Amino acid sequence: MKLRNYLSYLAIASVTLGLTSCEKDETPLENSTVESSEISTKTKGFDNLFKQSSNLKIETNTVQDLNFVIPAFDAVEPSACSTTAFNDVTSSAYNELVGSILQIWDGQNYTPVIDLIYADYFTINNYAAQLGINVDYFGKDGEYTKYVNNEKRSLEKFWQTPDMFRVHGQHTETLDNLAVIEFMYTNYSDLGLIADDPILDENDEIIQEGATIEELLNIAEKFNTESNQIPENVVYASDAFATFGGTIVLGDGIIELLSRTGLEDKIVISSILSHEWAHQLQFTNFGAWEYPVAAFSNTPESTRITELEADFLTGFYLTHKRGGTYNWKRVKEALTNFYFIGDCGFDSNGHHGTPAQRLKSAKAGYDYAQSIQEKGFLPDATEVHAEFLQNFENIL
């Protein structure tokens, strides 16, 4: 099923912890994987679950910061790309989800079940958050709403961006609303079918037709009702990204997952928001800010430099006395855990830099904050951008 031309709104953006490119690029969201040895072989081919990409499409214009794919860390020396506690809690959450699917699933309707529960649920909730559906609170019970709003005001004041960007919450309970699921399939897919073509066997005989919206809703109701993981599992609300249209999405799930590593929830929220805010600054200054390589051009070098700059701006804001006011020790602990997105896929268009590079860039932002604070002035974003470029070669 292909999403219709999706509007304008989205832009998942452009940078890793969230930015958006100004080129329209229709690409499916990536899904996480789990070691195949950890899943049941209840039915032949079930391991394909972990290769699924949602059939829903949307005009992305964004760079997703948090792709929950467990990376292969043997590509280079372990010191350059090692796992973190975040990998462990993410893997555990996915295994709980898969176990629940296997417990309820009767082995029938393979494609509709997997496409909906494993692929499209992630996509639907991602798009719902971008579209502004059920987004006006933060935390499962709204427990972070006040803190997020205060942090938003702090970022606005610090970067001199009043009322320029929106922050949307993302919640698993959105997927409990069948009307939302129906709305997405009705408005953003072709004819409500799961696939453009029927599934054929080796003799080109049809073995399964696509599902209608009504059939998909029946599947959703069954799994939502009978499972304590669907859609309650935190991974369904684990997005954190920025869009070219000025929106930042902050999922309950990413806060919960990082908190499970032992981090304090408030520094988790501050770290994510400050990184996504940095992407918004890049979007706002697109064309005006110069880089050694073209920004947001969907190349490994382009993605890496904008991501590392967002890390630099994050370290600068979080540790500045007029910003987040955190000390470097606490910031380092937080960033080390969610820099798992740092990778060794140097040739990948989504290469964000290694975890070590990302942390080094944030440390350079901290060092810059310390060097200027006694002078009593706060540079604007363009001046901080220039300082990052001065440090870039030393970060690599």
CA distance 174 to 166: 19
Average pLDDT over residues 38-53: 31
* Cα-based torsion angle of the residue sequence 342, 345, 348, 354 in order, rounded to the nearest 10 degrees: 30
- Prediction pTM value: 0.78
Q: Please state at what angle helix 328-338 crosses helix 252-259, rounded to 10 degrees.
A: 110
pLDDT the model gives residue 27: 25
Average pLDDT over residues 82-97: 83
The sheet carrying 166-170 orders its strands as 166-170, 247-251, 240-242
pLDDT the model gives residue 83: 64
pLDDT the model gives residue 49: 36
With a cut of 70, say whether residue 6 has pLDDT above it. no
User: How many whole angstroms from its chain centre is CA 295?
Assistant: 20
pLDDT in tens, 331-359: 998 887 766 554 555 555 555 557 788 88
* Structure token digits, residue 224: 């939502």
What residue ranges in the chain does DSSP mark as E strands?
166-170, 199-200, 206-208, 240-242, 247-251
CA distance 95 to 115: 17
With a cut of 50, say whether residue 56 has pLDDT above it. no
Query: What single string gives the DSSP state of each residue in 173-229?
Result: GGGG-HHHHHHHHHHHSSTT-S-SS-EE-TTS-EEEPPPPHHHHHHHHHHHHHH-SS
pLDDT the model gives residue 123: 87
pLDDT the model gives residue 377: 82
pLDDT in tens, 163-198: 999 999 999 999 999 999 988 887 776 534 343 455
